[in-house]
Structure 1
Amino acid sequence: MKKAALFSLFFAINFGGLALGMWLMNNGPQSNWYYDLNKAPWTPPSWVFGTAWSTIMICFSIYLVPFFTKNYSIKKLRLYIIQVVLNVSWNYVFFNQHWVAGGLIVLILLTSLIFYFFFIFYKEQKQTSYFLLPYMIWLCVATSLNLYILIYN
């Protein structure tokens, strides 16, 4: 029962973060600003973003249950909170403030943190570490998209 409750908690926090991020976007991908940007040729269709983030947050919620039940520490909690803040803030920095370089910085920090989760906690999370792969792959794609916009606009 404890695992189901933890999964529900992380699911709510992770999807709540996505909702907050969407709210902070200020029209985001539907804005004239974003529409007029020179985007990377590999930019996926808009429906992919919602599907990807939903999949990522489900997998991340699964990963977080043993992450917090095995060797719980304040350090792990702080890292998770930093992850939530970085994930939410990218939407505000990039879409709301139109600060492409700042968005890239946020993505690099977030990507580094998720890779840190994978490599540093791999030994204690062997069974669930691979649930981070969708997040890791998507952050690499998102970073490349953000970088392309920074370079070619």
Structure 2
Amino acid sequence: MTAWIADLTAWPLALPTAVGAAWALVVAGLGGWLTDVSSWYQNLRFPSWRPPDWLFGPAWTVIFICIVAAGVLAWRDAPTGAERALLIGLFLVNTVFNVAWSLLFFRLRRPDWALVDVVALWASIVALIIGVGRTSTDAALLLAPYAAWVSFAAFLNWTMVRLNPRTAPASPGAARPARSV
């Protein structure tokens, strides 16, 4: 065997690691593309305790690394194909809610709808923690930063809705004001 070939016991995790990393890049890319910090966003009222915009990128990078690591550990420790299928389903549901939040808040300019979504996102994270925790305690612990960040984001979203009550149109056809009063 040649010296450059790594320990063969690591190879079974290469595919889930690659898939997880690709997933994280796609989800982060979609979220970034959907996040439009246009004049509409800049004109919103923010709480004094809102983190600076530059913090969100590094925070999500760390969170996505933890999510991928949790997924790989749970995949490795899942005893059956059915358990792995359940994990994939939980991650997919979570992904939909994750991406939908950026779409609702930034693209559709509906912080109120995004607030409903972030509650569903948080519930999907809890389900994910329970699901991966059945196979790996370490994987469940790796999802704690995600749950904490989304809990904070949900409170921030709720506060934004309260501070900007006129950002949502009164009816589906009504015009949205560019600046809240």
TM over 0.5: yes
Please give the alpha-carbon distance, in whole angstroms, between the structure 2 residues aligned to 1:65 and 1:11.
10
Contact 1:14 1:84 in 2 (8 A): no
Corresponding residue of 2:15: 5
* Aligned residue type for 1:5: L
Q: Answer with 1 or 2: which has the greater Rg.
A: 2
Instruction: Quote how far apart the aligned CAs of 1:117 are.
Output: 1.8
Q: Which moved more, 1:102-111 or 1:116-125?
A: 116-125
Letter in 2 for 1:57: F
SS in 1 for 2:147: helix
Question: What is the deviation of 1:133?
Answer: 1.2
Question: How far apart, CA to CA, are the structure 1 residues paired with 2:138 and 2:111?
Answer: 37
User: Structure 1 residue runs of 4+, over 4 Å off?
Assistant: none
| SS of structure 1 residue aligned to 2:68 | helix
**Pair 1:60-2:71 in alignment:** no
**Aligned partner (choices 131, 134, 138) of residue 149 of structure 2:** 138
TM-superposed CA distance for 1:92, in Å, is 0.9
Task: Give the Cα separation in 1 of the matches to 2:130 and 2:97.
Answer: 19
Q: In the TM superposition, what whole-angstrom CA distance separates every residue of 1:2-37 from its partner, at most 9, and x where no partner exists?
A: 213211211111121110122123xx22x1111111
* Partner deviation per Cα, 1:41-96 (whole Å, 9 max, x = no partner): 22111111000000000010000013233134333222211111111111111000
Counterpart amino acid of 2:22? A
Q: What fraction of aligned residue pairs are identical, expressed as a percent?
A: 27
Calculate the aligned-residue CA RMSD, in Å: 1.5
TM-score of the pair, normalised by structure 1: 0.90
Aligned residues: 150
Task: Give the whole-Å Cα distance in 2 for the aligned partners of 1:81 and 1:121.
Answer: 13
Contact kept? 2:90, 2:127, Cα under 8 Å: no
Query: Normalized against structure 2, the TM-score is what?
Result: 0.77
Instruction: Name the aligned partner's letter for residue 109 of structure 1.
Output: A
Q: In structure 1, what is the equivalent of residue 94 of structure 2?
A: 83
Is the CA contact (8 Å cut-off) linking 2:16 and 2:72 kept in structure 1? yes
Deviation of the 1:126 alpha carbon: 1.1
* Aligned-residue offset at 1:149: 0.7
Partner residue in 2 for 1:45: 52
Report the Cα distance in structure 2 between the residues aligned to 1:45 and 1:147, rounded to whole angstroms: 18
CA shift at 1:120, angstroms? 4.5
Task: Choose 57-66 or 110-119, whichever is displaced more.
Answer: 110-119
**Structure 2: 5+ residue runs without aligned partners?**
1-10, 165-181
Which structure is higher in RCO with an 8 Å CA cutoff and minimum separation 6?
Answer: 1
Counterpart amino acid of 1:111? W
Residue identity opposite 2:123 in structure 1: S
Amino acid at match of 1:94: F
